[in-house]
Every structure is written in C-alpha cells, then in structure tokens.
Amino acid sequence: MREIQRQFDDISKKYDEQRKKFIPCFDDFYGVSVSLTSVDKENPNILDVGAGTGLLSAFLMEKYPKASFTLIDLSEKMLDIAKDRFRSSPNVKYIIGDYSKYDFVEKYDMVVSALSIHHLEDEEKKRFYKKTYSMLKQNGIFINADLVYGETPFIENLNKTIWKQYIEGSGLPKEEILAGYERSKLDKESKLDQQIDWLKEVGFCDVSCIYKFYHFAVMFGRKIV
C-alpha cells in the first residue's frame, strides 16, 4: 500500500486531467455510475472509498447537493485536492487511511468507489465487500466502477491492447503514459464474474454489471434487509 500511496501522491496534481485521457469511456463510466445512485432521500450519507481527488463525489454532489460525504484515501495529497475542490461544501469529511482496514462507525446510504478496489488482492476484495454490506443502511446501495481482469487470456490481452492504443493516441506526453503504465503494475484486477459472485455471497441483492467497456466495469448491489 505504501507504493500505491507514493505513486498517487506523485500524480495528484495532474490526476483529474489525466484520468479523462486514461479512460476511453470516461463520460459513460462516470455517468452510468452516478445514474445508479437512486435513493429515496435528498440528503443521503455517502462514503467514497479510494476517493482520490474527489472526482466521483463531485459528480454525485451535482445530483445530491444536500448529501453528506465521507472521502477516504491513502494519499493525503490527493485528498488535499479534494479539500480544495469542496472548500465551499460544509458536509464533507476526510479520512486519510486504508479503507480495507479502517474501522468505520457510521452507516451509509451509499458506498461508492471508482478505480480503487482493483488495488486489493482477491481475499481483501471479498473481505471488503462483506464489510461494505455491513456498513450500509437498509436499502443502501454499493457502486464499484473499476477495472476487471479479462475472462480469458485472449480477452485480457485484447482489453489491454485496445487501452494502450487509445492512450498512446490521446495526446498525453510520453513520460505521463509511461508513468501510467508503471502505476498499472500495482493493479490486482479480478474477473468480473468472480466479483459478482462475491457480492452475492455476502448478501447483496440485484447484483449486476450495469456497464462494461473492455476492462472498465460498473458493478451494482443493493442491501434490502
């Protein structure tokens, strides 16, 4: 986790700008994620895990301006950018820490994450999904917009080849592309069908992959009891 923290500290100031060029499906990826956040209250309590610079929370705040947000991330420098982004928003709390180990005391209407959980090992993912379920209120929802491993070696190679072709034609400077490849070495992606099963096993209902573009996927689950 220290290496993840270091690399994301280093990229913090350029992160949002780069993300649009590292994600071929940026608008749909985030747009679908936000569209799924449907709860019957104007002021939901939202936890953003691996929140980084607060990009996903910023989109959610447009939909739920009265919501209370908690952002947790390993990188203090990433959260510093989130604090600046939300400097006029009083209902935002920040936690510098490892969400897979942190002891949360609140209950949430939504737990959301974008491009973070793939840094966990398989067993850590399963434990975190169980933990997420326990943190949600009745009718709470979990949204994980993340990277997934290809169903077969052929599909995995296809996914990564298409992704590299896209970013190498994106206009990003070569050193930033190379740094992105270096960060990707920290990824521990899991197959989509495995993660769907893990979510069901811990009790989530209505589990689905709502959106997928090569190795970008948006997963959804709901706690009904």
Encode pLDDT of 170-187 as tens digits: 888 898 889 888 888 889
Output the pLDDT for position 13. Answer: 53
Interatomic CA distance for residues 102 and 132, integer angstroms: 11
CB 170 within 8 A of CB 21: yes
CATH number, position 198: 3.40.50.150
Whether the pLDDT of residue 2 is over 80: the answer is: no
As for how many domains the chain has, the answer is 1
Over residues 124-150, mean pLDDT: 97
Measured distance CA(1)–CA(30) in Å, rounded:
25
Strands of the chain (E only): list them.
Answer: 45-49, 68-73, 92-96, 108-114, 136-147, 205-213, 216-222
List, as own/partner pairs, every contact residues 178-185 make where C-beta atoms lie below 8 angstroms and the sequence separation is at least 24, other chains included.
Answer: 179/10, 179/11, 180/18, 180/22, 182/7, 183/7, 183/8, 183/11
Q: Tell me the residue range of the domain where 102 lies.
A: 2-222
Contact between 134 and 225 under an 8 Å Cβ cutoff? The reply is no
DSSP of 23-63: -TTHHHHHHHHHHT---S-SS-EEEEET-TTTHHHHHHHHH
Q: Which residues pair with 145 in a beta bridge?
A: 114, 218
pLDDT at 14 over 70: no
pLDDT confidence of 41, banded at 50, 70, 90?
confident
Whole-prediction pTM value?
A: 0.91
Per-residue pLDDT, 9 = 46
